């Protein structure tokens, strides 16, 4: 019984932990990866049930270390997918976020890199803008007194600090493009920053869009927030 509990709890953990790297390196497709999550939850629940049965009917085989390990692995296997599910329910099912919803910054150099991506490079339009406005009303065009060249250089520093891949800089047009690759699944999300003159101030807009997936689980909005915080920190020095 002890061996069975350990095996099932370990299997549950692996069904949740491995899909990310397996998808990242092209071993499985995204649908298969998420199916692993589902079976990981089922296996985690099964492991907890088996553990309870072991404690009730096979108490002599129970050890503190094996019990803690089974609880830990099973809890992780159940908690991670459920946490992602709850996150998905708390944010709109969109994957294209911009501080300018009327005239979002356009991808230029990144556009060819997204040629085979399931999510098209074009902005989805009014429906997405309406959902974003309701979920992230704080994301709006930024205003800075620094020159365009200073903001382009600061943006480049932000991209370096955040460990994104710099794709393109057009200092004259005030356009900077980059790609952020997520650690677990290796999802590639693209970012474009647009800096324009507006009298004595500069307007800065940021757009972040996922290449795959219907919902980004709030990741693109979080990425823009992180960019703004880092940019403000650099400019304050």
Write out pLDDT tens, residues 61-105.
889 999 999 999 999 999 999 999 999 999 999 999 999 999 999
> Taking 90 as the threshold, does the pLDDT of residue 1 lie above it?
no
Inform me whether the pLDDT recorded for 124 exceeds 90.
Answer: no
Q: Please state the rounded mean pLDDT for residues 191-210.
A: 97
pLDDT of residue 87: 95
Cα–Cα distances in angstroms (integers) from residue 68 to residues 45, 51, 59, 74, in the given order: 15, 10, 15, 10
- Average pLDDT, stretch 202-222? 97
Report the distance separating Cα 158 and Cα 230, nearest Å. 6
Q: What is the DSSP string of 110-163?
A: TGGGGTT-SS-SS---HHHHHHHHHH-TT---EEESS-HHHHHHHHHHHHHHTT
DSSP letters for 163-202: TPEEEEEETTTTEEEEEEE-TTT--EEEEEEEEEEETTEE
What residues pair up with 175 in beta bridges, in sequence order? 170, 194
pLDDT score recorded for residue 60: 86
């Amino acid at each position: 019984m002890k061996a069975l509990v350990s095996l099932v709890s370990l299997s549950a953990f692996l069904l949740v932990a491995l899909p990310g790297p397996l998808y990242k390196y092209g071993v499985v497709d995204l649908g298969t990866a998420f199916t692993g999550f589902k079976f990981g939850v089922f296996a985690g629940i099964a492991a907890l049930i088996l553990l309870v049965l072991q404690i009730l009917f096979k108490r002599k085989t129970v050890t503190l270390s094996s019990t803690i390990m089974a609880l830990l692995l099973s809890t992780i296997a159940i908690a991670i997918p459920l946490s992602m599910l709850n996150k998905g329910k708390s944010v709109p099912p969109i994957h294209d976020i911009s501080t300018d919803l009327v005239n979002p910054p356009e991808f230029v150099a990144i556009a060819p890199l997204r040629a085979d991506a399931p999510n098209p490079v074009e902005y989805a339009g009014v429906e997405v803008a309406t959902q974003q406005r309701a979920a992230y009303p704080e994301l709006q065009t930024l205003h800075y007194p620094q020159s365009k060249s200073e903001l382009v250089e600061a943006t480049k520093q932000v991209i370096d600090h955040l460990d994104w891949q710099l794709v393109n800089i057009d200092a004259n047009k005030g356009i900077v493009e980059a790609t952020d690759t997520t650690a677990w699944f290796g999802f590639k999300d693209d970012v474009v920053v647009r800096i324009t003159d507006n009298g004595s101030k500069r307007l800065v807009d940021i757009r972040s869009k996922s290449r795959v997936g219907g919902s980004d689980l709030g990741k693109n909005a979080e990425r823009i927030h992180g960019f703004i915080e880092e940019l403000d920190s650099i400019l304050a020095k």
